[in-house]
Structure 1
Amino acid sequence: MTVREALNTMPIFLSEKDKQKNNQKEILIQRSNGKDPRAAVTTDFPCCLIEDDEILDITFIQKDGNSSTNQQTTADPSVLSKRSKPETLVTFLVEKEGGPTVTCLLKSKVTNEASDADAAENVGQSQNPINPEQKKKHDGNTTKSTNPSTKRYVAKPIDKSEEIAEILRDQCEDLWKTVKQREKLKNNSEVQKFFREEYHKSAENFLEVKKVRELLRLSDSVCQIRVGESPAGTGFLLFDRFILTNAHVIGECDIFSTKTFTAVFGYECLEAKETKHIPVKQLKAYFHGKDASGRHLDYALLELDSVNEIAECPKLLDSYSPNPPNRGQICIVGHPGEGVKKMDPCIIIERDNRLEAANKHISENKHLIHVMKEVCAEQKWDFLAYKNQFTYDTCFFHGSSGSPVFDEHCKLIGIHTGGYKYKKLISVMEYGFTMQPILDHIKAQAKIKGLHEIINKLEAYSNKSNVSGAADQENQTDIEMDDEEEPEES
């Protein structure tokens, strides 16, 4: 990898780089060994050319008018990726005048004033000289060059997207003004930097190809729950022929209900033809409220009529982790907006930071504070009420309840359940519940009902805590906080 790529794997470097005092500074990298011990190298310098046990001196320096602001890789990545040996690379040692206190970095000052002869001479000395045929085409200005390195790709607009583009343009100006005022940013370049950093924080761990592949594999087990023909929420294949979702997705438990439920797998585009519609055979376990230990549970375990069509889908219980993180990155996979399957990487709001996050949201939406207060009093919001709850900010709203939540290691840690919502598609924060209490409670219900198949399956995943509240579930209160309107009662 390059020096910059290696540095980005080091927490101490990332911590220093993210400090406010270093935001507008450039990175100066100097070598300790070699022919010129204080020689500076670019951020895309190959690590394979660094000597064994050599130490690089990394310094953040203030930008000035003479320094370059572009520190991106200029070499062809496809070529660099094929070079595995140092001897296949060439190093140019450029000596500089001055002492060790000089911090001005070298910058190429090539302008458009160069003559055609000079340009031709420079091209002739490059690694990819223009052949006579190409030169004729260039001089005659009759056709475009066929050299792949000079080929230009023109972006084409999406069909029938003018209306959506116009709406986005209208919203963009207000968004920039809001962010600039909220974060006290001076100009548009700082707003751009803010958006890049915020996205980087939420998606960093899920940009690795290996993790993306694993999430895509696991997402095959995520399905849309439909009541009749209408989308109601999200579910996922937990084990064998059983899927898990939220209790409020299927509505109040009623043995005389005439509702018919279907799990739709593979709904990933509006014209999807490979979707698999599997009827739900029966409800096996259900709970909606507080258990005897004061933990909030909102789950329903549904048995599918058949799993022959989804035999290749992974069972997410095999990817379950009993130790969910209290901070860091997570990824939700589901069907938000009653639409196609999507995924959203986001950051856990730590328990100790929830009140601060809520106050920040309120300060940013003062024009809606009366609505927030009214809903808060009505629903009795308590951000610290349940120990088995974890919170985050996500774009997943109506239709995404019941989505699986994965940690940065692609392990199943919980189920996305709702949000502290006070207006349509606007909430203070969203939340999910950890898997362990749910699995324990399902096991307790299975023992009461004599469902030995489920008991045997969960035995290895259940902890030794005593879930004594399962038999008293009829006396429990309903959920006080949810992310959407409750489904109609049957």
Structure 2
Amino acid sequence: MQDTPGASDISQQRCERETAVLEVLQQRGTSVRAAVANKDKNIAEIYQILREQYPDLKELMENRFPDDSYQKALELRREDFRKIQRLFSHPALIHRDRKLIKLGESVCKVVVKDVCEGTGFVLFDNFILTNAHLLKGCVEGGKLKEGIRVYVFFNYDDPEPHTKFDYFLIERMLVYSSEDELDYAILEINWQEYNQATQTRNKVPPGLLQKFGPLPLSGEACIVGHPAGGLKQMDSIYIIEKEKREQAVHDHLQQYKDSIFTVYSIIHLIKKQGIENIMIGGNKADKVATYNTSMYHGSSGSPVFDAHGQVCCLHTAGFLHGFLNHKKCVIAYAQPVLPIFKDIVSKLKESGNNDLLRLRVEKEAKINSYLKKVYDSVVGLEDEAMETD
């Protein structure tokens, strides 16, 4: 049996390695400081000596990083560093954060009494956009079932006892698209509801419809919502490109590589949740944005803002594993808002709700070129046909 080297042996080996390197430098008449400062072009000889001193380490590294995978891993680390560097050095970040905080005033906590909690935001006037799956089992014939009470809370930002939130009761559901389709719902606030704690009429913040924009394929973004039904939070994210989603899942599983059972259990669970739908070849692969976030249950219905402060997506779900308060998200996804807007226009048109469509939705669309293009694709062509007739 080979003896384990003691502290004195390790110290002696280190001394021998240092002596070997110094001898090479002395033969060249080069100091250590000069070699480092000038990046000695013939430093390969020193590297070779160091490699010979660490044969086991060399073998280990070759096994861990076959072929050119080390350079790929190194480049990933460099990219991560560049992202962090941008995050902490960009001069416009303070301005952007202030803008997001202001826009975040339109975000509200959604409470379906005795059912669940989630997030939503003001679309325009007194209409709230959120996820349809929050209302699962509460809808019948396109309307809220009798006895279902839904509340929205604004300014739910400060911890008790300093919380001074405003709340409203939802009067009705205007538009509904099931979770099997676009998974969104528009709820109308009852203007007559008031905050009984202050006996004052509440004000609804400005709508975000005119801030709608396209889905970015990559880049920085931000979610504002109420995870776990708690206080409003803001989470900076980075959108994972479609081609890199599988690698992102693999990277998450790497932390459990010492337990095959754990890895197998997580894979089985997220497949059961439908993660294959967002991977290349899946039916949602081209229809969603994906990212990692620490905002889990209760965040459904949150707006996702792009780097320019436009609302690009509706945060919808994540593929989770873990137990109790130790939930972890493998990857999360959101639906782009422009297809949702197109569906809203179509449903209002089909239902004959022309007053709302023409007086409010069209007005918002004229302010935003992205909305106008979508609106015209649904309503404009029909108007042209009528004028021709």
Superposed pair shares fold, TM > 0.5:
yes
Match of 2:150 in 1: 261
Please name the residue that 1:283 is paired with: 173
| Amino acid aligned to 1:279 | L
Once superposed, what is the RMSD of the aligned Cα atoms? 3.4
Higher relative contact order structure (alpha carbons within 8 Å, sequence separation ≥ 6): 2
Match of 2:347 among 445, 463, 477: 445
Residue 209 of structure 2 aligns to a residue whose secondary structure is: helix
Other-structure match for 1:310: 203
Please name the residue that 1:334 is paired with: 225
Counterparts of 1:390-401 in structure 2 under 5 Å? 390-401=289-300
Is this contact kept in 1: 2:217–2:239, CA < 8 A? yes
SS in 1 for 2:334: strand
Q: Any residues of structure 2 matched to 1:115-134 within 5 Å, and which?
A: none
Name the residue aligned to 2:361.
458
> Following TM superposition, by how much is the alpha carbon of 1:229 offset from its aligned partner in structure 2, in angstroms?
7.2
CA distance in structure 1 between the aligned counterparts of 2:239 and 2:301, rounded to whole angstroms = 18
What SS does the corresponding residue of 2:275 show, helix, strand or coil?
coil
How far apart in 2 are the matches of 1:224 and 1:388? 26
Q: Say if 1:203 and 1:345, in contact at 8 Å, map to a contact too.
A: no
CA contact (8 A) 1:331 1:345 kept: yes
**Contact 1:202/1:329 (<8 A) preserved:** no
CA distance 1:391–1:452, change in 2 (3 Å): same
256, 273, 283: which one aligns with 1:379: 273
- Is 1:402 paired with 2:301? yes
The alpha carbon displacement at 1:65 in A equals 5.6
Choose from 111, 114, 122 the match for 1:237. 122
Paired residue for 1:225?
A: 110
Query: What stretches of structure 1 of length at least 5 have no aligned partner?
Result: 1-63, 69-100, 104-180, 185-192, 291-295, 468-490
Using a 3 Å threshold, how does the CA distance of structure 1 residues 348 and 204 change in structure 2: closer, same or farther?
farther
Say which structure is richer in helix.
2
Q: 1:379 to 1:227 in 2, by over 3 A?
A: closer
Cα distance, 1:279 vs structure 2? 0.9
Give the % identical residues. 29
For residue 480 of structure 1, what is the aligned residue in structure 2? none
> Superposition pairs for residues 411-450 of structure 1, below 5 Å?
411-424=310-323, 425-450=327-352
Cα distance in 1 for residues equivalent to 2:304 and 2:96: 14
Q: CA deviation at 1:333?
A: 0.3
- Separation in structure 2 between the aligned mates of residue 267 and residue 352 of structure 1, nearest angstrom: 38
Inter-CA distance 434–317: structure 2 relative to 1 (3 Å threshold): same
List 4+ stretches of structure 1 deviating above 4 A.
64-68, 181-184, 193-207, 463-467
